[in-house]
Structure 1
Amino acid sequence: MAVLFSIVLPIFALIGVGWLARYFGWMGPAGAYEMNRFVVYLGMPALLFQIMAKASWSQLDQPGFIGAFGLGSGLIYAATVAVRRGRGGALADASLEGLNAAYANVGFIGFPLCLAAFGPSSMTPVTITSILTVCVLFGIAVTVVELGVSEGGGGWKIARKVGLSLLKNPMLLAPLLGALYADFGPPLPEGPNRFLTLLASAASPCALVALGLFIGELRSRPPLPALSAQVALKLIGQPALTWALAHWVFALPPTMTAIAVVLAALPTGTGPFMLANMYQREASGSAGSILASTILSIITISVLVTWFRTVG
C-alpha cells in the first residue's frame, strides 16, 4: 500500500497543481493548450522514439504475453467503439471513448509499480505493454479519429487525407523512426540519449499539469453514465479479460499472468486527453475518466497486487 500511495498520489497531485494554477490565475486560459502542444509535438515523440530505438527485439519476442495484453486492450477498445457507434455517436468521439476504456497508464505508473511489486525482471514485459499501448493501440485510435474527422468525402479523398495526416503525426512518426533506428542505426550515443531523456522526462508531468489546467476550465460536468461505464471497463473489464486470455488461452506462467493483469488494471493514461485536445474534440469525458480511474485504482491495484503476491 505504501508503494501505491507513493506512486499514484504524486500523479494525482500533479493534476491538482494544474487545477490550482488555473483556479488562482497563475496560468491563463491558453496554458492547457500550449502545454498539451509541447507534450504532443516534443515530449511524447521523444519518449516514443527512445523506447523503440532502445528496444531489443529478441527480449521482446514473447507472443503469449503480447497476445494476452494486446487482445485484452484491443477487444475493450473495439467493443466500446462499436457500442458508441451503435448509439449514433460520431466515429472520432467513439474512438476517444474506446481509448478511455483501454489505454493503460503504463508510462507513468506501470514501470515503477511493477519494479516495486515484481522486481527488475518485470521491466521487459512492461516495455512490451508500453509499446503496445502508446504505439499500437494509440496508433489505431489516431487512425480511427482521422477517419472520423474526414467523414463525408469520397473514399480516395478520405484515404489520402488520413494517410497524409498520419505521416505528419509526430506521435506515430516518432516510434516508426525509432524502430527503423533500432534496426539500422548504432546504439544511441550518450549525448543524444541524454537529450531525449530530458525531453521525454518532461512529457509526463507536463501532460498531467495540462490535464489539471483543463479541468480548471470546465464549466459543466462530464457525462456520468458514459464515464462510469468507461471506468468500469478500464479497471475491471480489461484486467478480467486479460486474465482469462493469459490463463485459459495462452497459458502464461503465474508471474507473467500477474504482470499482464496488473498492467491491464492501470488507470486511464493521458493519451486520450492529449488526442482530444489535438483534434479539438470534447475532452471532458477523457479528463473525468483519467481522474476517476486514477483515484479508484488505488483500491483495485492494491487488491490485485496483494492477491497475486498471496497466491504466488
Structure 2
Amino acid sequence: MAGLETILMLFVLIGLGYLGKRTVLQGHSMAPLNLFVFYFAVPALLFNSVYKLSIDSIFQPLAMLAFLLAVVATALIAAFGCALFFSERNKEVLVIRALNGTFSNYAYMGIPVVFGLLGEEAYGAMICIILLGNVFQIGGTQFLIESMRQEGQGIRQLLNILDKALLRSPIFIPTLLGVIVSATQISLPGVLVDSLAMLAPATVPVALFCLGASLEFKTLKDSKIELFWLVLIKLLVHPLLTWLSFKAIGVEDQSWLMAAVLLAALPTGALAHVMAARYDVKEKETSLTVVLSTLVSVISITVWVAVLG
C-alpha cells in the first residue's frame, strides 16, 4: 500500500506539471526550473544525504562493485538493443537511452519503499546506492556526453572534459564535500544546515513538475516500441542482473542485496529527464519513459517484493 500511495503522489505532481504547462505556463520556458533543480536543489539533496552519516555505514566495497557491475551490464544491453533493433546510431542518444534503462527513481520512490519494507537496517545501503546512482550514472552520463562534444584529442581536451563533467559538476562536488564533512566531522553553521534542509526537499517535486510539463504524448507514436523496450530493461532486466551480480560476487549482507534489487526494480527517475533536457537529447521520449515505467512499476515492484520475500 505504501508503494502504491508513493506512485500515486508521483503522478499527481507529474499531472500538475502537464496541466500547468498547458494553462498558466503556456508559452513559457521550463528551462529556469530545470536549471534550478540541476544546480541548486540536487546538490543540496546529495550533500544532506551524505554528511550526516558515518563513512563506515555507507561504503561496502563488494556490494558497491556488485551494484555498479549490474548498472554497466544493463546500460550496455539497453544501448546495444536500441542500436540493433531500432537502428539508433547517434552516440549521445545511446548514452541517454542507457541512462533511461538504468537510472531509478531513487529518492522519491526508493526511500519510502525500501525504508518501509526493510526498515532502518537497510538505510546505509540505500543511501550509498542513491549516491552511486547520482554520481556514477548521472555524473557518468554528463562525462560521456561532454566527451563526445569535445573536438580534438590530447591532454587539453581531457582536462576540459574533466572540468565540465566533474570539477563544475553539481552532482560530483556536493557529494565529495559531503564525504569530506562526514569523514572529518566538521561542525557546520546552523544557518547553512537549515538553509540546505529547506532547499533539498524541492528537488523531487520540482523535477517531477518539469517532467510533466515536458510530456508530449504524440511522441509515443514514433517511438512506442523502443520506449517499451527501455521499460522492459528497467523493470525486469536491471533488477535481475543486480540480483545475479550480488550472488556472483558473493555479497552476504541480505539488507544490501534486497535494497539493491528493490532500488533497481524502480521506474526511471526524473533526473534522467533533467539530463536529457540539459543536453537536448531525446527529452520528450525520456519523459515518456519515466511515465510509462512508473505506470508498469505498480506491478513489477509487487512482483519483486514477493520474490525477495
Q: Where does residue 191 of structure 2 map in the other structure? A: 191
C-alpha separation in 1, matches of 2:94 and 2:125: 29
Scaled by the length of structure 2, what TM-score is found? 0.91
Q: CA RMSD in A?
A: 2.1
Q: Where does residue 9 of structure 1 map in the other structure? A: 8
C-alpha separation in 1, matches of 2:254 and 2:111: 19
Give the match's secondary structure for 2:71. Answer: helix
Q: Where does residue 159 of structure 1 map in the other structure? A: 158
In structure 2, relative to structure 1, the CA distance for the partners of 1:121 and 1:220 (3 Å cut) is same
Q: Where does residue 236 of structure 2 map in the other structure? A: 236
Range with greater deviation from structure 2 (45-54 or 92-101): 45-54
In structure 2, relative to structure 1, the CA distance for the partners of 1:85 and 1:307 (3 Å cut) is closer
Q: Where does residue 286 of structure 2 map in the other structure? A: 286
C-alpha separation in 1, matches of 2:106 and 2:239: 14
C-alpha separation in 1, matches of 2:274 and 2:141: 12
Residue pair 1:109, 1:266 contacting (<8 A) in 2 also:
yes
Q: Where does residue 249 of structure 2 map in the other structure? A: 249
Residue pair 1:243, 1:261 contacting (<8 A) in 2 also:
yes
In structure 2, relative to structure 1, the CA distance for the partners of 1:180 and 1:22 (3 Å cut) is same
C-alpha separation in 2, matches of 1:52 and 1:248: 29
**Distance apart, 1:253 and its partner CA:** 4.2
Residue pair 1:235, 1:265 contacting (<8 A) in 2 also:
yes
In structure 2, relative to structure 1, the CA distance for the partners of 1:29 and 1:175 (3 Å cut) is farther
C-alpha separation in 2, matches of 1:194 and 1:251: 38
Range with greater deviation from structure 2 (187-196 or 32-41): 187-196
**1:21-170 equivalence runs, <5 A:** 21-23=20-22, 25-84=23-82, 87=87, 89-150=89-150, 152-156=151-155, 158-166=157-165, 167-170=167-170
C-alpha separation in 2, matches of 1:168 and 1:78: 27
Residue pair 2:47, 2:178 contacting (<8 A) in 1 also:
yes
Residue pair 1:267, 1:290 contacting (<8 A) in 2 also:
yes
Structure 1 portions without partners, runs of 5+:
none
**Distance apart, 1:82 and its partner CA:** 4.7
Paired residue total: 305
In structure 2, relative to structure 1, the CA distance for the partners of 1:105 and 1:266 (3 Å cut) is same
Residue pair 2:121, 2:255 contacting (<8 A) in 1 also:
no
C-alpha separation in 2, matches of 1:64 and 1:89: 35
**Distance apart, 1:53 and its partner CA:** 2.4
Q: Where does residue 18 of structure 1 map in the other structure? A: 17
**Distance apart, 1:255 and its partner CA:** 4.1
Give the fraction of aligned pairs with identical amino acids, expressed as a percent: 25
**Distance apart, 1:214 and its partner CA:** 0.9
Residue pair 2:242, 2:261 contacting (<8 A) in 1 also:
yes
Q: Where does residue 302 of structure 2 map in the other structure? A: 302
C-alpha separation in 1, matches of 2:65 and 2:155: 33
Structure 2 portions without partners, runs of 5+:
none
Give the match's secondary structure for 2:55. Answer: coil
Give the match's secondary structure for 1:26. Answer: coil
**Distance apart, 1:174 and its partner CA:** 2.1
Residue pair 1:93, 1:145 contacting (<8 A) in 2 also:
no
Deviation string, structure 1 residues 186-205 (Cα, Å, up to 9, x no partner): 14344322211211100110
**Distance apart, 1:306 and its partner CA:** 2.8
In structure 2, relative to structure 1, the CA distance for the partners of 1:28 and 1:177 (3 Å cut) is farther
Scaled by the length of structure 1, what TM-score is found? 0.90
Deviation string, structure 1 residues 239-274 (Cα, Å, up to 9, x no partner): 101111222432434443222211110111012211
C-alpha separation in 2, matches of 1:90 and 1:56: 42
